[in-house]
């Protein structure tokens, strides 16, 4: 299974989070696109205003399967080795999920003030491309 992570490519926290995911995953499950990439957003039917609600995770095999914000972070955690264990502990603590949702919203809304804004987009080592989507980017159509 492959997943597309749409993240804020100008946010220091977001870019560093993607760096950690890239290191852990090595492009096996995840590829990445900055929310500032209008052509990628259009390709996936995402309006620029939609990304204001937070990062988006798309299942590339079932593109109608999407998660956003804290739900995307939870799904990413579930896909990482050992993530199911941490996620079950997290979900088992009453009241933690609403608190996490509120925390995510606060971080999302203050990310530049609290963590800084990059001058240029973070260039992912595993950008969204034909290979990420299951197509051979060098193959020519028949």
Could you tell me if 7 and 40 are in contact, meaning their C-beta atoms sit under 8 angstroms apart? no
With a cut of 50, say whether residue 95 has pLDDT above it: yes
Say what the pLDDT of residue 141 is.
32
* Per-domain residue ranges of the chain: 3-115
Q: Which residue has the tokens 């995840």?
A: 30
Per cent of the chain over pLDDT 90 is: 70
The 3-state DSSP class for residue 124 equals: coil
pTM of the model: 0.86
- What is the tens place of the pLDDT at every residue in 116-125? 999 999 999 9
Q: Is the dihedral of CA 36, 125, 123, 83 positive or negative?
A: positive
Q: How confident is the model at residue 63 (pLDDT cuts 50, 70, 90)?
A: confident
With a cut of 70, say whether residue 48 has pLDDT above it: yes
Report DSSP state, residue 48. G
- What is the tens place of the pLDDT at every residue in 3-25? 999 999 999 999 999 999 999 99
Report DSSP state, residue 139. P
With a cut of 80, say whether residue 138 has pLDDT above it: no
């Amino acid at each position: 299974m492959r997943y597309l992570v749409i993240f804020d490519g100008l946010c220091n926290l977001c870019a560093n989070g993607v760096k950690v995911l890239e290191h852990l995953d090595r492009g096996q499950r995840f590829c990445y696109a900055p929310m500032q990439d209008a052509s990628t957003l259009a390709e996936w039917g995402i309006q620029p205003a939609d990304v204001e609600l937070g990062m988006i995770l798309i299942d590339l095999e079932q593109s109608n399967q999407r998660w956003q914000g804290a739900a995307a972070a939870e799904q990413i955690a579930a896909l990482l080795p050992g993530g199911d264990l941490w996620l079950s502990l997290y979900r088992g603590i009453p009241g933690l999920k609403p608190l996490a949702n509120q925390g995510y919203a606060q971080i999302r809304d203050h990310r530049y003030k609290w963590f800084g804004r990059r001058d240029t987009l973070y260039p992912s080592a595993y950008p969204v491309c034909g290979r990420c989507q299951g197509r051979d980017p060098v193959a020519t159509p028949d």
